[in-house]
Amino acid sequence: MVRAYIGLGANLGDGAATLRHVLAELQATDGIAAVTASPFYRSAPVEATGPDFVNAVAALDTHLPPLALLDALQALENQHGRQRPYKNAPRTLDLDLLLYGDRSMDHERLIVPHPRMHQRAFVLLPLRDIAPEISVMGRPVSAWIAEIKDQAIERIAV
């Protein structure tokens, strides 16, 4: 089993309800076990327009290889009505594979670690909630958080 971290987000429809549903669906997915989720956060879109996002990060144990895990995540996005009319369009569900154990890969479909995760408060704050000692790209998650204080984000109760 490998510990993977997934970024979850939604800014169309009831984002919190969508994330709750997809967390249960991840737990029920063959090859995925022990799903643990961070608290939910509300954040403004980054490099995009549209409503605020509801975001979280989930840790999961999996024996799926990275591309098979990506396929499972994209299948869940599609089941939740994900559309991709243009880059960074608002979305009913966004699932990003952030980390896959200590593995690095640069494939045409997947780059791990996620290449922009260290620049995103909506990834770093929930990641710190569930894995406070984790390092991202060779630095503690808290060191990255100190560099993104200008991004509007708030923890929400759902």
**Sequence-ordered list of residues with C-beta below 8 angstroms from that of 74, at least 6 positions apart, any chain:** 95
What's the burial of 85, exposed, middle or buried (CB within 10 Å: 0-12/13-18/19+)? Answer: exposed
pLDDT in tens, the chain (158 residues): 999 999 999 999 999 999 999 999 999 999 999 899 999 999 998 888 889 999 999 999 999 999 999 999 999 999 998 887 677 778 999 999 999 999 999 999 999 999 999 999 999 999 999 999 999 999 999 999 999 988 999 999 87
Contacts of residue 105, Cβ cutoff 8 Å, sequence gap at least 6: 66, 111, 112
Catalytic residues: 82, 91, 94, 96
Any idea what the CATH number is for the domain that residue 105 is in? 3.30.70.560
- At residue 111's C-alpha, the angle toward residues 107 and 116, to 5°, is 155
Domain hosting 84: range is 2-155
How far apart CA 152 and CA 13 sit, in angstroms, is: 21
CA atoms of 30 and 72, how far apart (whole Å): 9
Number of domains making up the chain: 1
Q: How far apart are CA 71 and CA 77, in angstroms?
A: 10
